Amino acid sequence: MSHRAGACILGCAGPILTGEERRFFAEANPLGFILFARNVRDPAQLAELTRALRAAVGRNAPILIDQEGGRVQRLTPPHWRPWAPAADQIAAVGPQHAARSMYLRSRLIARELALMGIDVNCAPLADLARAETHAVLKNRCYGTDPRPVAAIARAVAEGLLDGGVLPVLKHIPGHGRATVDSHLALPRVKTPLSTLESTDFAAFQPLADLPLGMTAHVVYDALDPDAPATVSPEAIAHIRRGIGFAGFLMSDDISMEALAGTLEERCRASLRAGCDAVLHCNGKLAEMEVVAGACGTLSEETLARAARALARRCPPEPVETGALVAELDQLLGKRGDV
């Protein structure tokens, strides 16, 4: 690496890296990359894209994806296994087998990702589902009670780690009470701090040791009535000290409509608040140039936090994939894929 990595994680426009993107990434040197369905055609193409992204920055940069299952699944049939929404799988196996079934699912997902050169998955979620939880999130949640949700999220994280893929804990400090879609509008949670600490925040505390985390674009009146968590020093301080999260903390997608201000202002506010890096997802080169310029490079502190997180990337534990599939199918009481 010729110069310190930038405090941003960026997308790219399509399934093949353009010359213009290669030149930009070589100069901007983002910490890592994130992929979406627009970047995925087939296994050979995807493996070449992850190789090209790392070659552009000249190092083993982390490559992220959202492969939760259900609606949030970037690798899809016919080349990859289909997955039901997490809530549906958990309901199908029952509480006794929920954590194990989600471990198996995550271990299988990790194998598919690792074979493509993808080493970070934006999961697990520890958001608590509620009656009022917006539909964009609800069936992605693992339950309504912090203790079993944390246990299932831990199982998801362990499945990914055992498969050589780093987990990203989201959406800290909890998105479940949001009644609007933060992609389109700013959610506000008016719940008292004592209630949040015993419910939503409590689901994240047992997971505070995970290597990577992602913020929520949600205003919590009890923490900071004037700004969503991603750009709130008070909210980030609570994530660090109240919840105890010590890992590398990235923003949710900085281009989402929940945030106000220009792209540059959003990036600067996020980093000022205490996020370690800004996530920008749409792959638009003009926007990425703004983001890279606004974010600058990682500080000594954030560089050290990134190094600790990335040091947890390990080769996958040896496993018989067929045995994992068979056990999961048995728990689900069915044959074939989930």
Question: Can the peptide bond before residue 280 be classed as cis, meaning omega within 30 degrees of 0?
Answer: no
Kindly state the DSSP code that residue 41 receives in the 8-state scheme.
Answer: S
Grouping H, G, I as helix, E, B as strand and the rest as coil, residue 287 is helix
Residue 238 CA from chain centroid, whole number: 20
Residues 216, 176 contacting (CB under 8 angstroms): no
User: 66, 224, 252, 276: which one is catalytic?
Assistant: 252
Contact residues for 71 (Cβ-Cβ < 8 A; gap 6+)? 85, 139, 140
Torsion of CA 37, 38, 40, 42, to 10 degrees: 110
CA distance 119 to 97: 27
Closest by CA to 185, choosing from 128, 136, 251, is 136
In this structure, are residues 45 and 69 in contact, taking their beta carbons and an 8 Å threshold?
A: no
Known catalytic membership, residue 217: no
* CA 208 distance to own-chain centroid: 15
Q: Cα(321)–Cα(106) distance, rounded to whole angstroms?
A: 12
Rounded (5°) CA angle 198-204-208? 130
- Sequence-ordered list of residues with C-beta below 8 angstroms from that of 55, at least 6 positions apart, any chain: none
183 labelled catalytic: yes
Q: Of residues 97, 162, 181, 183, which has the active-site annotation?
A: 183
Active-site residue numbers? 183, 252
